[in-house]
Each structure stands twice: as C-alpha cells, then as structure tokens.
C-alpha cells in the first residue's frame, strides 16, 4: 500500500481523467457525455484553481476529482470529492487508500477546513472505505444522518 504513487493531474492529463470518469459511469450504468466532451471540460477546469484531480498508480489506475469552494461555516474552503474511481483490475491494491491519504494531506496544506463526499445509499463498500479513512455519514456529535439532495437544471 505504501508504494503507490499519487500525483496531481495536469491539463495534459485531461484525457486520462476523462477516460476513467467515462469508464466509471459506464461500469455503473450511468450516462456520460463521453471522454471527448469530458476531456474538453477538464482542460478548462484543471487550468483553474477550484478543481484538481489526483491520479494513483503508474500508469494511472485510480483517480479523485475534487472541487474547492468557500463556505461561510468554516474559516477555510471546503473540498468536495466529486468522483473517486479505481479501475476494477486494480482494486484491493491500496490505490484508493493512497489517493484518499494524499487528498487529505493536500487539503490540509491548502488550508481546507472540511472534505465532503456524497455516497449512494446502496454503496456500502464505499461507505465503509470512507469511514475507515475518518469520514462520517452522520454528525459525530448528534448521530444525525447526513442527506444529499440535488436538482438538475435545464
């Protein structure tokens, strides 16, 4: 687990990140605009300060896509782990754990106050993974469950 290389993706990695995001959605039968559209969007997003990606493994076999925003409740920004994916053939090799540790370290260095993650209710493996790494699906003080609501706009 300790030997997994994790690095920040650059603009030149947009195609790799896009392909993995497309594969992730395809694996779970979720619509994707396709790797070409995703790569175009990622080139723009990765050039800015509010979005970054981490790639794990060599060649990359895992990724985390993260957006960062200010938040009134914290002194520093809040990071949202938008997507995390490890290719099926590389699962269980510590790539996800290496990525999440690097994410936490990078966020600490950047002054991020909190990291948020949305996980599907049925995805108990992901819930266990994040809990193993110190994340909570409920308020640690009250035990109250957290919920995610969304509305896509035209």
pLDDT over 90, % of the chain: 89
- Where exactly are the structural domains of the chain? 6-132
Instruction: Give the residue from 105, 28, 12 showing the smallest Cα distance to 60.
Output: 12
Distance CA 114, CA 104 (A): 9
What pTM, to 2 d.p., does this model score?
0.94
| Token pair of 1 as six digits | 């687990």
Average pLDDT estimate for 68-77: 97
Distance CA 14, CA 51 (A): 12
Fold of 6-132: Aminopeptidase (3.40.630)
User: What is residue 86's three-state secondary structure?
Assistant: strand
Instruction: Give the residue from 75, 105, 99 showing the smallest Cα distance to 85.
Output: 99
Does residue 1 surpass a pLDDT of 80? no
- Helix (H) or strand (E) holding 67, with range, is strand 62-69
DSSP one-letter code for 109: H
85-140 confidence digits (pLDDT tens): 999 999 999 999 999 999 999 999 999 999 999 998 889 999 999 999 999 999 88
12-60 confidence digits (pLDDT tens): 999 999 999 999 999 999 999 999 999 999 999 999 999 999 999 999 9
Q: How confident is the model at residue 77 (pLDDT cuts 50, 70, 90)?
A: very high
């Amino acid at each position: 687990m300790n030997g997994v290389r994790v690095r920040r993706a650059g603009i030149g990695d947009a195609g790799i990140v896009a392909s993995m995001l497309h594969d992730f959605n395809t694996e779970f039968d979720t619509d994707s605009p396709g790797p070409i559209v995703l790569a175009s969007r990622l080139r723009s997003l990765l050039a800015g300060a509010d979005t970054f990606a981490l790639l794990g493994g060599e060649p990359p076999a895992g990724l985390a896509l993260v957006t960062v925003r200010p938040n009134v409740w914290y002194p520093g920004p809040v990071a949202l782990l938008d997507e995390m994916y490890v290719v099926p053939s590389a699962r269980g090799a510590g790539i996800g754990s290496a990525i999440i540790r690097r994410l936490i370290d990078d966020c600490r260095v950047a002054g991020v106050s909190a990291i948020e993650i949305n996980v599907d209710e049925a995805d108990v493996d992901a819930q266990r993974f994040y809990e193993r790494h110190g994340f909570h699906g409920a308020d640690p003080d009250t035990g109250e469950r957290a919920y995610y609501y969304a509305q896509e706009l035209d």
